[in-house]
Amino acid sequence: MKVHGACHCGNVAYDAEVDPERVTICHYSDCQRLTGTAYRVSVPTRRSDFTLLKGSPATYVKTGDSGTKRAQVFCPNCGSPLYAYGVGDPVTYGLRVGCLDERHALAPRKRIWCRSALAWSIDIGELPTRERE
């Protein structure tokens, strides 16, 4: 599936090919901090299927509990998280689904790092809802 991504301010934009069956929710505590919310939703793309169309994103390299280094790529202007990849010779990029125009068609297929999940984030179906605020 062809997807089109951009940061909030439009400074950085890209296109990529993804498999919608590979969308994942990650509850890892680092993902919570890096997104500023309860979990991260991402979909992988091969580096060869990714095209940066405009902008020069910034990169922050984090070291996970395992010692693995991952580059976190974001817009230097608005701060939108865009994608991540393993430091070294990345084969895939993990695109942040919230930055994709096609996000409504990219429903998660699995959840990982559930031991780090915030208990309240698992079932929010009973919360009161509003169409706008």
Ramachandran bin of 67, using left for φ above 0, alpha for ψ from -120 to 50, beta for the remaining angles: left
Q: Please state the separation of Cα 97 from the chain's center in Å.
A: 5
pTM above 0.75, yes or no: yes
pLDDT in tens, 42-79: 999 999 999 999 999 999 999 987 888 999 999 999 99
Residue 94, pLDDT score: 97
Residue 22, pLDDT score: 98
pLDDT in tens, 72-126: 999 999 999 999 999 987 799 999 999 999 999 999 999 999 999 999 998 888 8
Domain residue ranges of the chain, discontinuous segments joined by +: 2-120
Residue 50 dihedral angles phi and psi, to the nearest 5°: -115, 135
CA-to-CA distance for 40 and 114, rounded, in angstroms?
A: 12
Q: Class of 2-120 per CATH?
A: mainly beta
Q: How far is CA 15 from CA 12, 29, 40, 98, in A?
A: 11, 28, 20, 14
